[in-house]
Structure 1
Amino acid sequence: MPDSGHRRPPGKAERTQFNLGRALPFLVLAVTAAADVLTPDKERFERFLIAAPALAAVTWSVRGTIGIGLLAMVVRALLHLGRDEALVPDLLASEVFLVLVTACAAWVSHVRTRYERDLREVTAVAEVVQRVVLRPLPDRLGRFDLHLLYVAAAAKARIGGDFYEAVRVPGAVRIMLGDVQGKGLGAVETASVLLGSFRATVNTAPDLATLADTLDEGLTRYGGWDPESDAAERFATVVLVELPDDRDIARLLSCGHPAPLLQRGAEVTPVEFADPSLPVNLAGLAENHHRIEEVPFGPGDRMLLFTDGVSETRDRAGTFYPLELRLRGWAREPDAELPGILHRDLAAYGVDGLDDDVAALLVVRRPEPVRPPHPGDSAEPGNPPEPSRPPEPVRPTS
């Protein structure tokens, strides 16, 4: 799942690796000194002391690298005192050599830290840009809960060719989920254009068909502004969803996108599109018209929108991922945990894990809150309460 735009904290394995790298120079010093003291004088190990400042350059700062180099020189001098050796040239030659190695290691450390600083700055800017392009979704919009799984195929990337957006509009919630053809920066550029077109018109478009036309027009205009751009040559599959507040239905329009799955309890069925539209940016190849499907979507129902990174994951035998079967088995799983369960299951199912962008959005219509009955409420819904009658007087018996 995409994070909220903050830098991802290092994992346990990464922290362990880093701490081991920082401790390694001291381990070299200790092992070298112990081996030199515990073995006969003819066995010489002090030459391995030069490894300490060299290793320090990988993880330590310039000052730390110089400090470890100086410590190696002190260890070399102490080892010399335990032997009957001349100060010159034995000790002096070794110390001069350690000084040269330490100086080279300090220069390497300086270059490394400078590049690391530049990389942190570039990464910080990239994270802000990625968060603007692909904003985190809220957990709830109106009567609907949203649970997202998003994994970019590119290593260390936060966004890829899959994209999503959900917006609260007057009287409804509108959702877009799509997949750009191809990978890399060109796919990200196309996704950003489509997201911009969607956000610019989602509040004013009278229906999903108009919104779909806007996506096509946005890519066409972008291609006119930047003819050299790779984005204008790519197409994208998109599914648009409108969830009105006042009716327990969902309206959907597919532009060549995999059909979402509807789940009511353990029953899972794909949405049937009688006449899906062409993918975005392919409308010029044939006459394109948009048909909106309307399906029941009541309280407690789930709808799973996904890209082909989910449905086309294959195992070693070449079998596609059985998403419908898995979703039936997860009927009792909490809504919020379903994206994490799906992510782990996909990674275990795929031959090489996840090698494509993956986006899956679980939409849940929350049950209506139960209103406590008030005095005077009718037992039959829709009938006005009967007026109360005064009690009849009790007549005395003779």
Structure 2
Amino acid sequence: MLRWLPFVAMGAVGLCDMLAGPDVRFRPLLALGPAFAALWCGMRRTALVGTAAILLSVLLSSYHHALGRRQNTLGLAMLAGITVASVFASSGRQKRERVLADVRSVAEVAQQVLLRPVPRRVGTVHVAVSYTSATAEARIGGDLYEVASTRSGVRVIVGDVQGKGLEAVETAAAVLGAFREAAYDEPELTGVVARIETALSRQLSGEKFVTAVLAEFDDNATVTLLNCGHPSPLVLSQSGIGVFAEPADVAPPLGLTELVDARPCPYTVEFAPGDRMLFYTDGVVEARDGEGRFYPLADRSGLLKAADPEHALAELRSDVLRHVGGRITDDAAMLLVRRR
């Protein structure tokens, strides 16, 4: 419909000019045709619209016996100039759109390499993920997640890199690379964290850090967690009660452990068949509505009751977007695990 809008606008202007008579001139408004075309059409169609506008202006001038008058000639010259400018504007817009499409395709490939699709069923759990980037054009940011099926059980990591942009993506890649190796080699989660810390020591500088929570799901009705300064996972039992799996001691984020004496310690929580555990980044709980209120994740935990984890996570994501009124201001990653 937008491609035909320039012709509709010129038709309306021509009709008004004919009905208004020679004393009221609407012909200069024919410039709306090529101007609208430059916004949505290609070069050829914009040139066609501009040519049609000039011809229509000549016909209307002849109808009102205005051909040859100085003011009318200036109007035709102005319309021709606007047509040429609109063609060049359309060309520039198309070039920018091609560059943006290339950037998006590169970002999508980078995201597929960095955040690989996780299996829906692995070991004793069902898994679903959702990633919403604050930068819609890039579709990628500093949030990270990964699921690995190891001899020790299903191991999960969800984290958030301080900062934004390519530097945050590079740090996220270092964390995921270290986790993907250590998750299969280390018998304990503390060993996995140590390997990630070693990788980050070569990557981070200054006071930059990465918050993360690691989990290990085995065949028992419990789950082992290790929280490094990250928001605590939300556990939803079959009874519908949602509680946050808070650690006994707050550990520093990855990259800052050398600055404090505390070290992350594993802890266990009950996780029976049918229970759900939601891992998320601060982009979810810090999402604000128009009045500045944070997203009430605990109050909306009932949205996770759906039998299909992917459907439940889609409902929660839609609710977050409704809360903020359209677009979030920070990347938001969510990973939902359901005990089979």
Match of 1:271 among 233, 245, 255: 245
CA distance in 1, matches of 2:40, 2:290: 40
Match of 2:63 among 82, 97, 111: 82
Aligned with 1:359: secondary structure?
A: strand
- AA aligned to 1:356 is D
Map of 1:22-41 to 2, 5 A cutoff? Answer: 22-41=3-22
- For these two proteins, the number of residue pairs brought into alignment is 338
Match of 1:295 among 257, 269, 274: 269
Match of 1:345 among 319, 323, 329: 319
Native 8 Å contact 1:241 1:252 kept in 2: yes
CA distance in 2, matches of 1:156, 1:194: 24
Match of 2:333 among 337, 342, 359: 359
Residue 170 (structure 2) aligns with: 189
**Per-residue deviation at 1:187?**
3.0
Which of 121-130 and 74-83 deviates more? 74-83
Which of 350-359 and 206-215 deviates more? 350-359
Native 8 Å contact 1:141 1:168 kept in 2: yes
- AA aligned to 2:146 is E
Q: Is residue 2:83 matched to residue 1:102?
A: yes
**Per-residue deviation at 1:90?**
7.5
TM-score by length of 1: 0.75
Change (3 A) 1:161 1:87: same
- The superposition leaves residues 57-106 of structure 1 with CA deviations (integer Å, 9 ceiling, x where unpaired) of 22211111111111112212322342335557687665444333322221
- AA aligned to 1:240 is L
Q: Is residue 2:220 matched to residue 1:247?
A: yes
- AA aligned to 1:333 is A
RMSD of equivalent CA atoms: 2.8
Native 8 Å contact 1:262 1:301 kept in 2: yes
- AA aligned to 2:34 is P
Identity of aligned residues (%): 38
**Per-residue deviation at 1:280?**
0.4
- The superposition leaves residues 12-63 of structure 1 with CA deviations (integer Å, 9 ceiling, x where unpaired) of xxxxxxx43x333212210121012112222222222233223222221111
Native 8 Å contact 1:303 1:364 kept in 2: yes
Change (3 A) 1:51 1:188: same
Native 8 Å contact 1:220 1:232 kept in 2: no
CA distance in 2, matches of 1:234, 1:92: 65
Which of 123-132 and 331-340 deviates more? 331-340
Residue 58 (structure 1) aligns with: 39
**Per-residue deviation at 1:282?**
0.8
**Which runs of 5 or more residues in structure 1 are unaligned?**
1-18, 224-230, 367-398
Native 8 Å contact 1:257 1:307 kept in 2: yes
**Per-residue deviation at 1:271?**
2.3
- Structure number with greater Rg is 1
**Per-residue deviation at 1:222?**
2.3
Residue 281 (structure 2) aligns with: 307
- AA aligned to 1:255 is C
Q: Is residue 2:180 matched to residue 1:206?
A: no
Change (3 A) 1:94 1:360: closer
**Which runs of 5 or more residues in structure 2 are unaligned?**
none
Change (3 A) 1:88 1:126: same
- The superposition leaves residues 248-295 of structure 1 with CA deviations (integer Å, 9 ceiling, x where unpaired) of 331211112222222221233332423343210011113354422233
